[in-house]
Amino acid sequence: MTTDPKRRKIDASDSTDSQDSTVLKAAVASWLPLSVASIDDKFCFNSTTYHTPVPAVIAQNKDAKVVLGVDEAGRGPVLGPMVYGVAYCLEGFQDLLKSQYGFADSKVLKDSVRQTLFRLWHDPEHELYKNVGWATRTMTAKDISNGMLRSVSGPGPYNLNKQAQDTTIQLIREVLAKGVSVSAIFIDTVGPPAMYQAKIQRIFPKIDITVTKKADSLFPVVSAASVAAKVTRDINLHWFNKNMDILKGKPLGSGYPSDPNTSKWLNASVDAVFGWPFGLLRFSWQTAKDSLERSRAAKVTYEDALIPKGRYKDIGYLMGPTTGLVNALFYARDCSL
């Protein structure tokens, strides 16, 4: 007896962290999610955002409570983008995401299950499409590295946590701008949960905010966001594996430094001057820096490296002796510039 895909639930055989390259190649050959297909010029490697239309059920029930989940995929890889996903639905529909459709943390689902769920979610006739909206922000390796390696003589480095938090805030604001009355938001944490939650709560004071570890396992709407982000990232990377001339036929793997295929390609493909193909690799990752050093790539001295370090000294000695209570307190605090 076959199982109705509209009611398919997870079973034990679905629990795996592995990435099935055969499934991914087939997906790239036959289907691209809108979050990938909508990118106009993929070889520019610009970060892009995709939003579905607001589901009719939500648009027609403007006073009903809507819950929204946020999660990411691809924080650690040296290859490919980091993708943030959001999913939102009526509060009463959230439990059905797990009990009826089998959404769970994307890392415990097989590629085939993730892709089946996401493809059903694209079908205008399917209940998922009619009830659950989603959006993704594809943060390219180029833009991630550009931010992290920003000059200290300019705005300074834009670290990954800050990029991730700003992307989360951007996606939430864009959903709200569509007129969606979100009453609760669940976020898989970046950094200390309490501090992050307080920050998001200040920005959206009228919405109940929950930021926690393992949110993708605790809240089905976050699980759905996790699936959208994971499938988008994986297919994005494999699209380049198939369509970028220098990468065709090369087993890139998942893009994680611990993946043997990724590590092998990374270390075997170093150009002495340019390193690797533009846009796909995170040059700000220590893994990339180590590979360049092992390969004896050309050394480059950047302008920032020429700026003297520690040039600002304590000028307190110019202010005279430490007489009086105010001066004593000033010097006791070891004020320096």
- pTM assigned to the model: 0.82
The predicted pLDDT at position 114 comes to 93
Q: What pLDDT score was predicted for residue 175? A: 98
188: which strand partners? Answer: 212
What was the pLDDT predicted at 298?
Answer: 83
Instruction: Give how far Cα 302 sits from Cα of 151, 299, 305, 306, 309, Å.
Output: 10, 10, 5, 7, 14
Q: Contact, 106 vs 226, CB < 8 A?
A: yes
Q: Would strands 66-73 and 182-188 be described as parallel, antiparallel, or unpaired? A: parallel
- What is the rounded distance in angstroms from the CA atom of residue 84 to the CA atom of residue 229? 6
> Mean pLDDT of successive 10-residue segments in the chain (337 residues)?
40 40 60 95 96 96 94 96 98 94 84 94 96 98 94 87 97 98 95 94 98 95 97 96 90 93 92 87 92 85 70 50 44 41
pLDDT, residue 29, reads 64
CA distance 240 to 139: 15
CB-CB neighbours of 91 under 10 Å: 13
pLDDT number for residue 173: 99
| DSSP code for 281 | B
Question: H-helix or E-strand containing 70?
Answer: strand 66-73
Residues 24, 235: contact at Cβ < 8 Å?
A: yes
Q: Residue 64 half-sphere exposure, CB side, CA atoms within 13 Å? A: 16
- Binding-site residues for a divalent metal cation sit at 71-72, 188
Sign of CA dihedral 172, 178, 183, 186: negative
Tally: H helices and E strands in the chain: 14, 6
- DSSP-H helix ranges across 46-138: 56-59, 94-99, 111-122, 127-131
Reduced to 3 states (helix: H, G, I; strand: E, B; else coil), residue 268 is: helix
Spell out the domains of the chain, with CATH numbers in brackets.
5-242 (3.30.420.10)
**Distance separating alpha carbons of residues 315 and 318, to the nearest angstrom:** 6
Round to whole Å and give the CA distance between 259 and 3: 34
Q: What is the pLDDT of residue 285?
A: 93
* β-sheet bridge partners, residue 186: 69, 210
What pLDDT sits at residue 154? 81
What is the identity of the amino acid at 320? Answer: G
Cα angle, residue 186 at apex, residues 184 and 191 outer, rounded to 5° = 135
